């Protein structure tokens, strides 16, 4: 039964960027489905408050570990803390990411490197460190959060598009190399997902969700919970034969041709 395949009881999940938006929605769903969850981000107060809400709503443990995922030693410490507290790692969600948009000709080298550090290098270090424990236990599921920018590209985001594309290929190779250990790795490419921080960015740019939704086949933007649904599915036994894939959650493709009425 599908319900049994979505049972995370006895499993331990790490969700980076777990205090807000997609990461928070994912951590909440995993906890409600039975998992013990570790969430990390840089802002300790925000993180502790999120962990308390998740624990109260789910009845399961949610451990807040303040971590800057761009700092290798901090990631190593966060993964070790997880193992020390719970004894294993079954799920890793590489959700931390983001960008600042700008035209290609004005992106400084430091800015380019920073976006790769946040969106690719951090996922590599988290995967490597958590993966050591998954390899030892010969099981695990890794889900990394990409973007439509990594699938189709986006003008004003050459660095971000390239980084997310690299994350997708990293995931594909991880799946190929670690499948023999019973580890699955997949990506979820987010479209226009109206998380609180994205809504703030749109507001600064003078955009409203309705403006963004008009060009989407489903005629609306998505929600963090809709992203979390796919992430949790890919982390679960319901997706036991799915690995090395990038799956878009974007409300449908925008195609050329006859204009809509």
Q: pLDDT by residue (tens digit) across 33-46?
A: 999 999 999 999 99
DSSP state for residue 238 in the 8-state scheme: G
DSSP state of 120: I
What pLDDT score was predicted for residue 213? 81
For residue 236, the SS3 value is coil
Mean pLDDT across the chain = 94
Beta strands in 75-200 (DSSP E): 91-94, 140-147, 183-190
Which one of the listed residues 124, 160, 181, 241 is annotated catalytic?
160
Closest to 98 in 3D by CA, of 42, 34, 29, 25? 42
Q: Which residue has the higher pLDDT, 101 or 185?
A: 185
**Does the active-site annotation cover 160?**
yes
For 2-249, CATH number out of 2.30.130.10, 3.20.20.70, 3.40.50.720, 3.40.50.150 equals: 3.40.50.720
What tens digit of pLDDT does each residue of 106-131 get? 999 999 999 999 999 999 999 999 99
Domain definitions of the chain by residue range: 2-249
Burial (CB count <10 Å: 0-12, 13-18, 19+), residue 154? middle
């Amino acid at each position: 039964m599908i319900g049994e395949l979505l049972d995370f009881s006895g499993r331990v999940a790490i969700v980076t960027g777990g205090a807000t938006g997609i990461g928070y929605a994912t951590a909440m769903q995993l906890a409600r489905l039975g998992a013990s969850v570790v969430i990390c981000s840089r802002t300790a107060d925000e993180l502790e408050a999120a962990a308390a809400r998740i624990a109260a709503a789910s009845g399961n443990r949610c451990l807040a570990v303040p971590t800057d995922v761009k700092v290798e030693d901090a990631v190593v410490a966060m993964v070790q803390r997880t193992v020390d507290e719970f004894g294993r790692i079954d799920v890793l969600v590489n959700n931390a990411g983001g960008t600042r948009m700008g035209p290609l000709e004005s992106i400084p080298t430091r800015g380019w490197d920073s976006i790769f550090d946040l969106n690719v290098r951090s996922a590599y270090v988290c995967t490597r460190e958590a993966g050591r424990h998954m390899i030892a236990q010969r099981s695990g599921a890794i889900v990394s959060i990409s973007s439509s920018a990594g699938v189709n590209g986006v003008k004003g985001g050459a660095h971000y598009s390239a980084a997310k594309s690299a994350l997708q290929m990293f995931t594909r190779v991880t799946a190929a190399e670690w499948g023999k250990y019973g580890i699955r790795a997949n990506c979820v490419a987010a479209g226009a997902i109206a998380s609180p921080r994205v809504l703030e960015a749109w507001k600064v740019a003078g955009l409203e969700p309705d403006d963004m939704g008009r060009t989407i086949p489903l005629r609306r933007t998505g929600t963090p919970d809709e992203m979390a649904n796919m992430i949790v599915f890919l982390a679960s036994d319901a997706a036991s034969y799915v690995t090395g894939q990038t799956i878009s959650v974007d409300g449908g493709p925008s195609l050329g041709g006859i204009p809509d009425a």
